[in-house]
């Protein structure tokens, strides 16, 4: 990928960085040579990103041309938003307190140069901030009040604002920054598309095991897509890819949601997209939505502190109590008596204002229907864990006992189960979902719609084998092809 550094006046650029093209902002904006080419990364180092300044238009037109600006327009707006700065301060609070604890002063400006600082002690904090804002040169202001540090302001700075004593360091980290981006082995011919797979092999309940991740990568390669596994520390690299596939357990107050939101803002095709994460990970939302669209589910009520008697009388024991954002059977409790109900509610109300109560439906297994782009792509029976009422029995020591998984041909799934699953998934979007359904006689009850369903080698893929992975990778190619066609028509 071609790298451009865009500045107001190249004559005043104080650094010598090899193999990077230095361009005047007005030249980039007006010269036809920079209007058409794709595969360009634009490092916008103009003096100001303020609305309708030259720096603002560099990022804006870079996006319009299909280039990849750093920072993006969304980032330039975030840098000006006190609300965003305040939220970010809360998210990285632990890192802020740890890094700045030794300081004696109550105000501290921190320079961030390509995610680094002249003092190694602040590198981790700098990387966190750079991952969020992705402006090459920034300065953050921290203020200590009542013994705690707060991030008060963060802003991009021009190269001319870098102190003379820091310039040698900035030149060095910039060289490393661009060298690292060229050091990865390149295929002999450029791939059709590039895909990032967000995955943590150490996650206790990862939605895909290591073998499945390798199968996804091989399936992508067969479709001329270069797939690469990334981690939470690669947030700043998202703009390098055409698509993002999240294979970690998602939550709204979690880095997975920030990855999805940032990737979507950068124009990537994203699974799971942020809207799906918002909708699927909150069971209060899901219960309301399924009820409004007359999709059959267990008798369900939203629980708050003032309706406990009504819930017990309406749902009847045993009752399944769920935290709105629970996943992998955690935060889900079965209660059989009113004292047990009150005790569990009191405990869960410490972390959430609302709970979900559902009637208990006894079945030997749950159906799991995998739906992609509103079409079923696989089906499986998830049997209950040994001597347990759930498919996962979570032990106190952190270990889990899983019930067996039996893959089933889609055409052999009972029609009522399939119809309910596809309808429920369609309410969430056109991404990849796993719909859990319980069957009693001819009736199918939708239990949950999961936004990043388990796809483990040796389980969900036992019938389809590599075809399952190819179908999911083909979804990305189809979406990317459609996007490319739209851009060519514009």
Token pair recorded at residue 293: 């669209």
Task: Write down the CATH number for the domain with range 193-272.
Answer: 3.40.50.20
Give 184's pLDDT tier (boundaries 50, 70, 90).
very low
Predicted confidence (pLDDT) at residue 295 exceeds the cutoff of 80: yes
Task: Give the angle 254-219-260 at the CA atoms, nearest 5°.
Answer: 20
pLDDT, position 87: 60
Give 386's pLDDT tier (boundaries 50, 70, 90).
low
Q: Which residues contact 400 (CB under 8 A, 6 or more apart)?
A: 204, 205, 328, 392, 393, 394
401 bridge partner residues: 393
Which position has the token pair 């330039």?
A: 76
23-45 residues labelled b (16+ CB within 10 A) or e (exposed): bbbeebbeeeebeeeeebbbbbb
What SS3 state is found at 257? helix
How do residues 307-355 score in pLDDT, each as one tens digit?
999 999 999 999 999 887 765 556 788 899 999 999 999 998 888 888 8
The residue that leads in pLDDT, 51 or 22, is 22
Give 182's pLDDT tier (boundaries 50, 70, 90).
very low
């Amino acid at each position: 990928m071609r790298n451009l550094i865009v500045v107001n006046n190249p004559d005043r650029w104080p650094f010598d960085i090899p193999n990077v093209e230095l361009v005047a902002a007005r030249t980039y904006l007006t010269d036809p040579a920079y209007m058409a080419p794709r595969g360009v990364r634009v490092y916008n180092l103009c003096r100001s990103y303020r609305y309708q300044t030259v720096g603002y238009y560099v990022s804006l037109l870079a996006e319009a041309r299909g280039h990849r600006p750093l920072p993006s327009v969304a980032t330039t707006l975030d840098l000006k938003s006190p609300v965003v700065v305040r939220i970010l301060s809360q998210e990285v609070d632990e890192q802020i307190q740890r890094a700045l604890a030794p300081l004696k002063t109550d105000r501290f400006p921190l320079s961030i140069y390509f995610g680094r600082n002249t003092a190694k002690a602040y590198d981790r904090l700098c990387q966190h901030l750079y991952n969020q804002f992705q402006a090459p040169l920034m300065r953050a202001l921290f203020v200590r009040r009542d013994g705690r540090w707060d991030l008060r302001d963060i802003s991009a700075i021009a190269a001319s604002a870098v102190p003379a004593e820091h310039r040698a360091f900035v030149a060095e980290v910039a060289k490393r920054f661009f060298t690292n981006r060229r050091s990865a082995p390149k295929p002999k011919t450029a791939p059709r598309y590039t895909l990032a797979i967000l995955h943590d092999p150490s996650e206790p309940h990862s939605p895909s095991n290591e073998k499945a991740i390798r199968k996804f990568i091989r399936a992508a390669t067969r479709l001329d897509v270069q797939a690469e596994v990334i981690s939470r520390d690669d947030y700043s690299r998202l703009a390098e890819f055409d698509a993002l596939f999240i294979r970690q357990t998602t939550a709204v107050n979690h880095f997975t949601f920030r990855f999805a939101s940032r990737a979507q803002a950068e124009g990537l095709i994203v699974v799971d997209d942020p809207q799906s994460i918002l909708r699927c990970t909150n069971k209060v939302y899901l219960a309301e939505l399924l009820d409004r669209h007359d999709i059959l589910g267990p008798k369900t009520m939203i629980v708050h502190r003032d309706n406990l008697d009504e819930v017990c009388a309406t749902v009847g024991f045993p009752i399944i109590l769920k935290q709105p954002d629970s996943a992998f059977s955690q935060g889900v409790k079965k209660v059989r008596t009113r004292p047990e109900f009150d005790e569990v509610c009191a405990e869960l109300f410490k972390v959430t204002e609302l709970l979900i109560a559902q009637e208990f439906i006894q079945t030997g297994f749950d159906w799991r229907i995998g739906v992609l782009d509103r079409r079923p792509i696989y089906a499986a029976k998830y049997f209950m864990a040994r001597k347990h009422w759930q498919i996962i029995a979570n032990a106190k020591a952190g270990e889990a006992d899983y019930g067996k998984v039996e893959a089933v041909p889609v055409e052999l799934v009972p029609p009522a189960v399939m119809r309910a699953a596809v309808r429920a998934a369609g309410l969430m979007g056109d991404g990849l979902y796993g719909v859990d359904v319980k069957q009693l006689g001819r009736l199918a009850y939708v239990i949950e719609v999961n936004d990043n369903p388990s796809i483990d080698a040796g389980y969900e893929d036992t019938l389809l084998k590599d075809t399952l992975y190819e179908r999911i990778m083909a979804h990305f190619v189809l979406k990317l092809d459609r996007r490319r066609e739209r851009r060519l028509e514009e």
